[in-house]
Structure 1
Amino acid sequence: MDIQQQILQLRDELNQHNYNYYVLDQPVISDYDFDLKLKELQALEDAHPEFADAYSPTKRVGGEITKNFNTVVHEHRMYSLDNSYSKEDLLDWEARVKKVIDGKVQFVCELKYDGASISLTYINGVLNRAVTRGDGVQGDDVTANIKTIRSVPLRLQGDYPPKFDIRGEIVLPFEGFHKMNEDRIEIGEEPYRNPRNTASGSLKLQDSAEVAKRPLECLLYNITGSNLNIATQFESLEKARSWGFKVPKAAILAHTIDEVIEFIEYWDVHRHNLPYETDGVVVKINDLHQQDELGYTAKAPRWAIAYKFKAEQVSTRLNEITYQVGRTGAITPVANLEPVELAGTTVKRASLHNADQIEKLDVRKGDEVFVEKGGEIIPKIIAVDLSKRPENSRPTHYIENCPECGTALVRNLGEAQHYCPNYNGCQPQIIGRIQHFISRKAMDIEGLGGETVALLVKEDLIRDYSDLYTLTKEQVIPLERMAEKSADNLINGISASKAVPFERVLYALGIRYVGETVAKKLAKHYKNIDSLRQATTLELITVDEIGIRIAESVVDFFASEKNIRIIERLKVYGVQLEISSEQLVGQTTILEGQAFVVSGVFESISRDELKKRIEDNGGKVSSSISSKTNYVIAGDNMGPSKRAKAEQLNIPIISESDFFKLLQ
């Protein structure tokens, strides 16, 4: 056997042993024998570099150094999931699904593993890239680190599509986590707090050899792409397993919502026997065509829901109530607690939300309180142990003045929160608005973080977000922890943000109630900041999904002379305050005021592209037929009940070719 054949045979053999051990959990040789074979392959590759392969099993040990993780836009957005906490929530979700879907609905139930979300891209059966979830639209390229995780196949087996993304969770099994902590304690280091955070932190280590030492695993659950030749979610799990991915076997196909609830009740008890952290069950509609019909909200798929297991609770002492000022001036009372372990983390603070919540709980300084993590993420106080209340206890008196600037607080009719009205003079509000402006979903200014913003404001280098564009390297270098390279990155990051599109700039301005989705709608409708600035409340509420509260907030924002001055400065500095000519190409108002329902499978265009065409031409896409629907665009396999409802309401049913004629 020649050297090349010997190398190829060893690679195939070691890849199979990796698969047997890390995916099937059925090793057929000892760790010692595996290591001997790996060393043999390493020696052959070192002696014959002409046969090098970036996907060799020897590359699993890492060694690549990544100083900066590049930001990558996901080809297919990674949505979050809507949460449910009760049987009633699930039944409500099923009812919403059945309003849209004709015929029988099946569900896939999968355990919700608590790790770090990842998206893997495979091209021609080879791992091309691994990207963290990030904000769902873009994440960090962590390919070098992911290659060291042995349950991630570098090359696939079987009949796989030429290109696809597969999503999953990077998890740290309990056994490996405890072993890591034992080793850290032995050398005098602080133990890690919990498996989830440790797994997440591992993905951003600069040295992939360090990642390779950690017993991480990758559990996969969702395939995304075009022309995949897969009909159902359950089939996709089976296919992924056959290609070499580690797909948890706990998933089931459920024919009724009662079977879904049985699955949840079983795992709510038995999850404690699993080797990984879990915090719930994800329920998905099985049929991918039905998933397509249901579509997405701005944040989550309508075809899936996460059932969260009941949160862990502990009791501890409330030492003090303090008050925080947010960027909008909203005051949030905070309970400062005696530190307590909860769901793998040390909790020292919990939100009390507002004055009504304090009054409802009758929570007081010195109380013994019960704390849980809402959705196992944000700690909150749920009750007071009155049996342990001190005799000298006094009711909590909510503050009347801003804790930062002393201004008298206001509380608008019908609102739960108190506000500090000192918009331009209260420092936490100023800092908060600038921190929002630079955030990832807004201007995404690289090299500038929240702490640096606070420092810039406190040093009087900036007073609002337009001042960022006047900063010089010489001004920022003297700041604490600011080296020359950091200063360059900050100034370059600010300059690069001038290319951020108008819809994100509009979100970045921090207009109250104008989130990402509303900013997109307003940008699309008004096209530039001047047209939006001139809009009246009555004009604004005619825009799709813009209510009176949002409209009044927008008008109030532009009524401020200071805000207008800031916007005029942003214009001078070159920030994008109008939709670019490239974005305007193909956009018309031909379909303005018309509502469409899209149903079925189409020949010449994907459903998503069809919806985009409708919206680009001023139309609105709805998920269900009503008297307000103008047209139903029908493809193959249109649901019979949808057709019957359209006919009953005398709504025209048109084909995709008829739709294109409308555009002409």
Structure 2
Amino acid sequence: MRGEVFMRSPVLKKINEEARRTGNKVFANPRNAAAGSLRQLDPRITAKRPLTFFCYGWGVLEGGELPGTHLGRLQQFKEWGLPVSDRVKLCDSPDEVLAYYHKVEEDRPTLGFDIDGVVIKVNSLALQEQLGFVARAPRWAVAFKFPAQEQMTFVRDVEFQVGRTGAITPVARLEPVQVAGVLVSNATLHNADEIERLGLRIGDKVVIRRAGDVIPQVVNVVLSERPNDTQEVVFPTHCPVCNSDVERVEGEAVARCTGGLICGAQRKEALKHFVSRRALDVDGMGDKIIDQLVEKEYVHTPADLFTLTAGKLTGLDRMGA
């Protein structure tokens, strides 16, 4: 059977509350939470997370009499006890399809889980087979996406974050605003070229959108409502964390701190990557623990993690007896 695994919004809220309590990384959205849960190397962790599955299709079905329509088979699956969305509807005309699309869009905030559109399919399986596929998708189905939700707010400041590779990313600090049911207070500005393209200044009124209903981004500046006291965004020439020189290689959009592991920010991000599930997968070594280890200067390189004593670890917040 084919379908989609997802996480309901109340479940995500509980998981993130527990992550904050234990000093672990929170999930940005239900989509990341569901994907991260399925990719766990330890199936016991996945089993503890309440995931939901909706069946919407099938691979190969052989034997027995089966309905000749897509809806008929979904109803058959439901009779077999498989989970099928109760939002599946048969429409008889394009107008009815459009009306149902708008109905789901209207009901979207109360569903209890995130969706970004409606999939419209040809009901007749014989016609589906006749229509066939293009390279990566069927000709008999189309995803009718909802428009991204947008809101206006003000840029209160622009800060510069330093990543694991030294990349310096400008981040807009916003007057908090609700966008698609999520309180947004930050939005990435990517790089100096993007700031120049937008013509953005600190204090500007801007339009915010959650791209793919997930990542907050600044769409444009409302120039007609620009306040008189806006300030230019000045890209740093020295790292805001370690004061090392910032370099931008010709032809690249990203500026980088040249400090390497001397830079506290790069050190933290490198260590977080080192202990992450994709690397050593060190259980219990969350972001908050790494932050403390670097700030207390217990760890300067990944090798230092292997020489930590129990005394140092138990002195950290969330690690004591």
Q: Give the TM-score taking structure 2 as reference length.
A: 0.71
Give 1:141's aligned residue: 47
Structure 2 distance, partners of 1:346, 1:322, is 19
Match of 1:276 among 98, 108, 111: 111
Structure 2 distance, partners of 1:370, 1:349, is 13
Give 1:360's aligned residue: 197
Residue 152 of structure 2 aligns to which amino acid in structure 1? Answer: S
Give 1:221's aligned residue: 55
Give 1:477's aligned residue: 314
Structure 2 distance, partners of 1:285, 1:482, is 56
Equivalent position SS for 1:140? helix
Cα distance, 1:224–1:137 mapped onto 2, change above 3 Å? farther
Structure 2 distance, partners of 1:429, 1:408, is 14
Cα distance, 1:245–1:476 mapped onto 2, change above 3 Å? same
Give 1:18's aligned residue: none
Structure 1 position 441, deviation (Å): 3.2
Structure 1 position 474, deviation (Å): 2.8
Structure 2 distance, partners of 1:477, 1:228, is 59
Task: Pick 1 or 2: higher relative contact order, CA cutoff 8 A, min separation 6.
Answer: 2
Q: Give the percent of matched residue pairs that are identical in Structure 1 and Structure 2.
A: 33
Structure 1 distance, partners of 2:302, 2:122, is 44
Q: How does 1:280-429 map to 2 (within 5 A)?
A: 280-282=117-119, 308-429=145-266
Structure 2 distance, partners of 1:335, 1:382, is 12
Structure 1 position 372, deviation (Å): 1.3
1:327-352 CA deviation, whole Å, 9 max, x = no partner?
11111101111122222222111111
1:448 aligns with 2:282: no
Q: How does 1:182-261 map to 2 (within 5 A)?
A: 220-222=54-56, 237-251=74-88
Structure 1 position 450, deviation (Å): 0.8
Equivalent residues of 2:2, 2:59 under 8 A apart: no
Q: Between Structure 1 and Structure 2, which shows a larger proportion of strand residues?
A: 2
Equivalent position SS for 1:134? helix
Residue 140 of structure 1 aligns to which amino acid in structure 2? Answer: T
Equivalent position SS for 2:157? strand
Give 2:298's aligned residue: 461
Give 1:561's aligned residue: none
Residue 38 of structure 2 aligns to which amino acid in structure 1? Answer: G
Structure 1 position 454, deviation (Å): 1.3
Equivalent residues of 1:308, 1:375 under 8 A apart: no
Structure 1 position 414, deviation (Å): 2.4
Residue 276 of structure 1 aligns to which amino acid in structure 2? Answer: L
Equivalent residues of 2:203, 2:229 under 8 A apart: no
Structure 1 position 419, deviation (Å): 0.9
Q: Between Structure 1 and Structure 2, which shows a larger proportion of helix residues?
A: 1
Structure 1 position 431, deviation (Å): 0.7
1:356-375 CA deviation, whole Å, 9 max, x = no partner?
11111111111111111111
Equivalent position SS for 1:360? helix
Root-mean-square deviation (CA, aligned residues, Å) is: 4.0
Structure 1 position 132, deviation (Å): 5.7
Equivalent position SS for 2:247? coil
1:169-194 CA deviation, whole Å, 9 max, x = no partner?
xxxxxxxxxxxxxxxxxxxxxxxxxx
Give 2:101's aligned residue: 267
Cα distance, 1:285–1:423 mapped onto 2, change above 3 Å? farther
Structure 1 position 309, deviation (Å): 1.5
Structure 1 distance, partners of 2:105, 2:186, is 28
Structure 1 position 394, deviation (Å): 4.0
Aligned length: 281
Cα distance, 1:444–1:226 mapped onto 2, change above 3 Å? farther
Residue 377 of structure 1 aligns to which amino acid in structure 2? Answer: V
Q: Give the TM-score taking structure 1 as reference length.
A: 0.37
Structure 1 position 430, deviation (Å): 1.0
Q: How does 1:11-160 map to 2 (within 5 A)?
A: 115=9, 133-138=35-40, 140-142=46-48
List gaps (5 residues or longer) in structure 1. Answer: 1-75, 81-111, 118-130, 147-166, 169-219, 485-664
Structure 2 distance, partners of 1:367, 1:468, is 44
Residue 243 of structure 2 aligns to which amino acid in structure 1? Answer: G
Structure 1 position 389, deviation (Å): 1.2
Cα distance, 1:285–1:436 mapped onto 2, change above 3 Å? farther
